[in-house]
Amino acid sequence: MNESQLQTFLTVAEHRSFSKAAVILNVTQPTITSRIKALEEILQCSLFKRIGHEIYLTEEGNMFIDYAKNILIYIKHSKEITNIVKEPVIKVGFSPGYSYSFIIELLKTIKSMGNIEIQVIEAHDSVSLNERALSGEVDLIFTREILPHNHDIVSEYLFDNDLVVVLPKDHPLADKEVLELEDLSGETIISYRRNSKLWRLIDQQLIGAQQLTRIDLENNEMMMRAVTNNIGIGILPELGIDKRYQTEVKVKKVKEIQSIPNKVYVQYRKNSHIKNMAKKIIYSIINHKYTEVN
């Protein structure tokens, strides 16, 4: 029993015609007849019966339809085994707040290493991302929360990813050399995922600014678009500023906000395959940090 025999049976069963099946499958009618006969010999039963000029499924043929469909599905899935086990494969996770240009730089680095399959995951926050790393769902993560000691995970501090204020380039505060927290009073503050631990820390500092209007969005890409359209002021890590927007915004530091700890840790599974790639990826990320942002 093979794939072509099963596909032929299902095609004949659907169209009730050996000749139509031959046209659809682009083979001769004797080939169709031969395949059905071979399948009937394997199953030791007749699958079709002819009444006059019409072809009908036998009782056994009707029963075999679902089996044939399922067998074809299993055959299709089995062909994916080589892709499933193909090495190397790397799953990279990010906590929120990284720009598209940052992630694209990382993907370029991984692609340059050769035939590597990549899965990029953005977690809701660092805590959930760390949990996924501990469970083995991801191989390498960039997060602001270091994992507790685990003999299967390597954790390395990379750098501080300072929180900054992003203004539309023509905003009244854009030309002010130094911003104070009080300068944000009366402004519309745009956040993303405000229920995260990082944003709770930001909100604690923003108590010093009065009469703030809030807009919360799903991700920093939406936030950057809102800022460039003069909807409000954004607060995000430096590495969340995509280079596409650098000419359209002004980046300012506010002491109280900049003081919020926001370190970048890279953490990866302790095996030679991941370790070798991690070193190259870390170099790419550090290079991006100091060439694109500063």
| Residue 294: band (very low, low, confident or very high) from pLDDT cuts 50, 70, 90 | very low
Roughly how many angstroms between the first and final C-alpha of the chain, as a whole number? 65
Topology of domain 3-82 in CATH is Arc Repressor Mutant, subunit A (1.10.10)
Per-residue model confidence as pLDDT tens digits over 5-43 = 999 999 999 999 999 999 999 999 999 999 999 999 999
At residue 87, does pLDDT exceed 70? Answer: no
Region of 27 on the Ramachandran plot (φ > 0 left; ψ -120 to 50 alpha; else beta): beta
| Residue 166: band (very low, low, confident or very high) from pLDDT cuts 50, 70, 90 | very high
In angstroms, the CA 285 to CA 290 distance is 9
CATH, range 163-258: 3.40.190.10
Short-list 82, 101, 103, CA closest to 92: 103
Helices (H), 81-215: 81-85, 100-112, 126-134, 197-206
Structure tokens at 34: 């031969």
Q: What is the DSSP string of 234-256?
A: EEEEGGGS-GGGTTTEEEE-BHH
Per-residue model confidence as pLDDT tens digits over 109-130 = 777 777 677 788 877 777 788 8
Instruction: Kindly report, as residue ranges, where domains of CATH 1.10.10.10 are found in the chain.
Output: 3-82
Return the CATH architecture of domain 88-160+263-293: 3-Layer(aba) Sandwich (3.40)
Structure tokens at 10: 């299902």
Residues near 181 by beta carbon (within 8 Å), at least 6 away in sequence: 205, 206, 208, 209, 254, 255, 256, 257
Find the range with the poorest average confidence among 94-108, 150-164, 189-203, 205-219: 94-108
Q: Which residues pair with 142 in a beta bridge?
A: 94, 266
Per-residue model confidence as pLDDT tens digits over 205-217 = 998 899 999 999 8
Q: Report how far Cα 230 is from the mean position of its chain's Cα atoms.
A: 30
Instruction: Kindly report, as residue ranges, where domains of CATH 3.40.190.10 are found in the chain.
Output: 88-160+263-293, 163-258
Amino acid 112 reads S
C-alpha distances in Å from residue 191, one per residue of 2, 147, 235 = 58, 26, 6
In angstroms, the CA 120 to CA 90 distance is 9
